[in-house]
Amino acid sequence: MSLSIVDGWFPLVLTVLGLLAFAWLIIYPRPRYLFVVVPAAIVVAVCGTLAARYVIENVWRPFPEPIENVVYVAGGFILLAILLTIARLLVGHGVLQTALTVVAGLVAVTLGMAQINISFAAYPTVAALLGDEGGGTITLDQLGDANLHVVPINNWRAPSGMPADGSILTAPIPGVASGFEARPAKIYLPPAALTSPAPRLPVLVLMAGQPGSPEDWLLGGQLVATMDEFARTHHGLTPIVVVADATGTELANPLCVDSQLGNVATYLTKDVPAWVRENLKVADTARPKWAAGGLSYGGTCSLQLATNHPKLYPTFLDISGQLEPTLGSRQRTVDIAFGGDADAFRAVNPMDLMAARRYPDSAGAFVVGAGDTEYKAGVRATYEAAKRAGMDVHYTEVPGGHTFAVWSAGLRKELPWLAKRLGIPE
């Protein structure tokens, strides 16, 4: 079930089958169908796609950055496939023709959806597409052993019989202090955390993008595979990874601040740490042992946490983050989230903070896709600003654009630095 669906032979075979499917849907031995119905379907698909693009980008504006044109093109082909399937079913005769048309329609639609998936690599494998998060699961009840003995990480030695892989804990983290309604967090616990005695482990709080959910880091981000691979060469040790919800819903964009859109900053700085201290006995509560990280919106959020709350999050991993938290423009962001108060925005904006303050105890990694034309300049600018503000930072480019392939590769590449910074022994 680990078959790649974004590269290799599968996309090629699907493309060939998709072209054959479109040929079946288009070619029909009646001139009126071929010269009237098919062109009409194409016109409707093109107009529908352009209308959808206009509404999404200019009216609705659910995302701060424009959606890539390849996504709209693929969506247009999906719409065309649906229209042609309906038309072919109306003119076709017989059970065989009907069955072939239905199959062709499904294949054509699948081809369009696959192209969208390839653009983001959100589901890199069949297993991820089917919801396989990459590891075994564990519950809070199984962790709630009152007799669990925890020792400092430098005094811990891997016992015999330690699990080979880590486990995933799914748990709601309530917004007690913030009032923020978050979806359940996904928590990776390394093999060492599943032993007794267990070591006191550092914590990495990860955030997904927008649109997005905590599951994204496990599916497209391949989090478990990355952490398990690192654990195998480090005696079962990795940071505990808390993939916290920083948006509340799939499409929401509360900017990772306390504002009219929700108190996300309080959630990530008070509610999440309090829950971890209460429920994860193996977590190290020393503030230098905590880091924030994320992809896209989550990368922006990690820099926001590092600049606004440097004592709690002195270490950060900004992968493909934005130049600043945004709803599309500075003015629109200020108006919607801060009631028109530009000073309130500047008081929490990382670029403004780094221009005015020094952060000698902070360290961070900035990672971006070499082909990410939309975000690369912003990542480079925030890196330079962080360096001027006295942070110990480095900048890395990996092959690719604004996709999960870049984000998963970025975490793999920076994990050794991150673990060393957080006190994981070599």
Tens digits of residue pLDDT in 74-115: 999 999 999 999 999 999 889 999 999 999 999 999 999 999
Q: Letter for the amino acid at 182?
A: A
* Domain spanning 133-421, CATH architecture: 3-Layer(aba) Sandwich (3.40)
Whether the upstream peptide bond of residue 199 has omega within 30° of 0, thus cis, is: no
Distances (CA, A) of 69 to 47, 65, 73, 111, 404: 15, 12, 6, 16, 18
pLDDT band at residue 422 under the 50/70/90 scheme: very high
What percentage of residues in the chain have a pLDDT greater than 90?
94
- The CATH 3.40.50.1820 domain(s) of the chain lie at 133-421
Cα dihedral sign, 60-44-109-82: positive
Per-residue pLDDT at 146 exceeds 70: no
Tens digits of residue pLDDT in 310-346: 999 999 999 999 999 999 999 999 999 999 999 999 9
User: pTM to 2 decimals?
Assistant: 0.94
What percentage of residues in the chain have a pLDDT greater than 70?
99
Query: Rounded to whole angstroms, how far apart are CA atoms 244 and 223?
Result: 13
Is residue 43 packed enough to be buried (19+ CB in 10 Å), middle (13-18) or exposed (0-12)? exposed
Per-residue pLDDT at 269 exceeds 70: yes
Q: What is the mean pLDDT of the chain?
A: 96
Strand partners of residue 315: 291, 363
Per-residue pLDDT at 143 exceeds 90: no
Is residue 157 packed enough to be buried (19+ CB in 10 Å), middle (13-18) or exposed (0-12)? exposed
